[in-house]
Amino acid sequence: MPKEILISGKVMEPRSAARSGGSTMEAGDSRLKTYIEGFDRILEGGIPQGHTVLVAGTPGTMKSSITYYMLYNHAMESKRTSVYVTLEQSRESLMRQMEKMGMNNEKVKDQLHVLDLGIIRKKLKEIAGGTSWLHVFKTYIANLKENLDFDMLVIDSMEVLETMAEIRNRRTDLFYFFEWLHDLGVTVFLISESSSERLIDGKFDEGYLSDGIITLKMQVVRDVEMQRRIRCVKMRETNHDPSYFSLLYNNGRFQVTRVISE
Amino acid sequence: MNPAVTKPLENTYSALHLNKIKVDECSTMRIRSVEAIPVARPDSTMQFRSDSLERREKALVEKERKLEALAESLKERSQKLESLEGTKAIEKMPERSDMDELRQKVREDLLRQFQPELEALQTQLEVKEAELEEARLRTRMLETGELIEQPVDQEELARVTEEIFQELRSQVDSPPMLKDTGLIMTKIPKLDEVMGGGIPQGHTILFNGAPGTMKSTFTYAILYKAALNDKTKGLYLSLEQSRRSITRQMEKMGMPLAATEGRLVVADLKGMRESMSEDQGTWRDVLLHYVQKMQRETEFKIFVLDSLESFKALTEHGFNRQDLKDLFDWFKSLGITVLVVSENISDEWDEANQGEVYLSDGIMELLMHEMNDSRVQRWMRCVKMRGMNTDPRYYSVFHDGKEFNLSLPLSNQPF
């Protein structure tokens, strides 16, 4: 049996040079802005490059939108290249959703690549199982890194990836997967469907494995009002404010404000 | 001893994060716990494997013993033969060369007689030994925590991988053409505003709620209004109620089916079965064929499936998230807007969901809200609507016998 199809075998050798960052990185610019007004200040300027960050929340909390928004703004402002991998939602649906939120995909088509990797399962379904899926996935992303030299990678979502890769031994398999992500040398956003409470309870290994956790939720205020909340639970190498903030979306900009009253 | 062992590990770790201001206690613990991952996983599978290995080893030892006994009996026979030949030699005193010839002949006879059996045993032994070696290898791999997959056809895998890469390459090169789809206006007062303008065409929307929250009436009302106002055709398929019971119920709510002039079709399991009597296959296949057939015939634009739980129950095998993804993709391929009635209430999302809340393009949540000891109101909320700027607040829902009315609830005021 060839070694490389084993889930725990590393498919790609770590490239020592890769950790230093992508081509568009400037000296001293070691943090990636979130472009959410007020939130970068909370993160001491942004997310440290090379971090693997979980973006977690229940349905409708704008996990995808906020992550796409970051990539979009980086493409617009600094021509940074990024890849958004969707495993379940079709790319047409995702991109249309972002258009409706006021982001013009046409303007960033050379920097922001949305890829529907759901096709891997469709094609592999007949002949191979989960470990082959993960192998093909990793090989493709590694190739893409060579060709596009992207700085940021989004995987939407972690839960679907686990189902498709048929991850059984979560503890070790996730450890190797995070190590592989780390070796890619890019900043990674993993979209997670776990609610923040469950992540913080420590039931999930990815909470420990990731360098940062940003959670999103809806909060009932005064019994009838609903407000969006954002919170940076964890961010390594950063002295961040761990409080909840109100998340607002107006005229194409995300913005946070301190929660005034409960 | 112990602190001396763990200390350097921690030191290395903090050395790597010199600029780290707040040492994250969890992460240090994590590093240690990763180091502590046990390599051997003694579990029932392992026990089973070692048992079967022991059984095989015993069988092999038994075979070996039989072989030895066989060799022993061969030796005995040839000794007997020799002594027999000796007596013969005394009796007849044949020529020395004759005796040699005879001995040779007997030996050859014996050999011929036992050769096939010997060879067969030899091959069996070799096969068993190879099996044993393979089993040992597997046990070792299991012990070290490596997974064993069914062997995959490598050539086929390489071919498919190349196909996948090719298709993905075209994805990188060409962004999709985004057609601007229109909106379906529900014309239910306030509802369109709450959803950010209406339901985007082609979306699959979940209507979640406990029993009695008027999920069916709500989705029916959307179909009914669209048929009346925009002359949009619709199909309402109930796997729970009979067609008669639904139409009677809706007539009482001021929505007589006749008023839609055939633009709205209500179907139930019985009607579906009659219409598809020719069709073979599982319930699920029949249902999907039926929807397809109806779409060809009536060209409906909105489809209500009532309910998702009943649909899942119709499938014989377990219904997992990937099956659901296939179903939702299939809806997309038909180009219709789908309203799915579901009783999966939001408290259970984390525990029991099969992904419908993530796979769907939108979620409307319906619930009963207890205002105080005696008053209960129906509430509604738009949890999610992809690409729409929704109003996420709770609204109370009233039905005045003719129409739905949505209004912001008066919060917690004493009555």
Domains in chain A: boundaries: 50-216
Q: Is A86 on the interface with B (CB under 8 A)?
A: no
* Residue B136: per-residue pLDDT: 78
Q: Above 70 in pLDDT, residue B8?
A: no
pLDDT at B32: 45
Measured CA to CA, the distance from residue B344 to residue B357 in angstroms comes to: 9
**Inter-chain CB proximity A198 and B350 less than 8 Å:** yes
- Touching B: A residues 204-223, CB under 8 Å: 207-209, 218, 220, 222-223
| Cα angle, residue A45 at apex, residues A42 and A50 outer, rounded to 5° | 110
pLDDT tops 90 at residue B234:
yes
Q: Comparing A212 with A130, which gets the higher pLDDT?
A: A212
Query: In the predicted model, what is the mean pLDDT of residues B279-301?
Result: 87
* Omega prior to A157 cis, within 30 of 0: yes
Residues of A in contact with B381 (CB under 8 A): 226
The residue that leads in pLDDT, A9 or B179, is: B179
pLDDT at A22: 41
Strands A152-156 and A187-192 turn out to be parallel
Query: Is A50-216 assigned to CATH 3.90.1300.10?
Result: no
Q: Which of B383, B409, B411 is facing A59, going by the closest CB pair?
A: B383
pLDDT tens profile B239-272: 988 999 999 999 998 999 999 999 999 999 888 8
Q: What is the pLDDT of residues B26-83, one digit of tens each?
A: 444 444 444 444 444 455 566 777 788 888 888 889 988 999 999 998 988 888 888 8
What pLDDT, on a 0 to 100 scale, did the predictor assign at position B89? Answer: 56
Q: Which two tokens stand for residue A152?
A: 């940021």
Q: Residue B43: its pLDDT value, please?
A: 57
Facing A101 at nearest CB: one of B381, B387, B394? B387
Of the pLDDT bands very low, low, confident and very high (cuts 50, 70, 90), residue A214 is very high
Judged by CB atoms within 8 Å, which residues 232-251 of B form the interface with A? none
pLDDT at B4: 44
Between A139 and A21, whose confidence is greater? A139
Report the pLDDT value the prediction gives residue B18, as an integer from 0 to 100. Answer: 46
Q: What is the pLDDT of residue B345?
A: 63
Q: What pLDDT shows up at residue A30? A: 87
Question: What confidence score (pLDDT) does residue B347 get?
Answer: 55
Query: B408 in contact with A at a CB cutoff of 8 Å?
Result: yes
Token pair of A148 as six digits = 């596009």
Query: Across chain B, what does the average pLDDT equal?
Result: 80
Contact B394 A226 (CB under 8 A): yes
| Helix, strand, coil % in chain A, rounded to nearest 5 | 40, 25, 35
Asked if the bond preceding B307 is cis, omega within 30° of 0, the reply is yes
The dihedral through the CA atoms of B266, B271, B275, B277 has a sign that is positive
Residue range A158-175, pLDDT digits in tens? 988 988 888 878 778 888
Q: What average pLDDT does the structure give for chain A?
A: 84
Q: What does the block give as tokens for A195?
A: 């609610």
Q: How many residues would you count in chain B?
A: 415
| Distance from the B390 Cα atom to the nearest Cα atom in chain A, whole angstroms | 10
Provide the percentage of residues in chain A whose pLDDT is more than 90.
Answer: 53
pLDDT at A261: 61
Which of the four pLDDT bands, split at 50, 70 and 90, describes residue B95? low
Arithmetic mean of pLDDT, B311-321: 77
DSSP string, A49-112: TT-EEEEEESTTS-HHHHHHHHHHHHHHHH---EEEEESSS-HHHHHHHHHHTT--GGGGTTTE
**pLDDT value of residue B316:** 65
pLDDT per position as a tens digit, B383-410: 989 888 888 888 999 888 888 989 888 7
Return contacts of A42-47, CB within 8 angstroms, 24+ apart: A42/A232, A42/A240, A42/A241, A42/A245, A42/A256, A43/A232, A43/A235, A43/A238, A43/A240, A44/A238, A44/A239, A44/A240, A47/A187, A47/A212, A47/A235
Task: Please report the DSSP string for B269-328 in residue order.
Answer: HHHHHHHTTT--S-HHHHHHHHHHHHHHHH--SEEEEE-HHHHHHHSSS---HHHHHHHH
pTM of the model: 0.67
Residue A118 with chain B: CB contacts under 8 Å: 325
Q: Which of A14-23, B277-286, B314-323, B347-356 has the highest mean pLDDT?
A: B277-286
pLDDT at A32: 95
Q: What is the pLDDT of residue B373?
A: 80
**Would you call A233 exposed, middle or buried from its count of C-beta atoms within 10 A (0-12, 13-18, 19+)?**
middle
Helix (H, G, I), strand (E, B) or coil at B157: helix
Question: Contact B164/A93, CB-based, under 8 Å?
Answer: no
pLDDT band at B118 (very low <50, low <70, confident <90, very high): confident
Alpha-carbon distance values, B64 to A233, B55, B134 (Å): 66, 14, 20
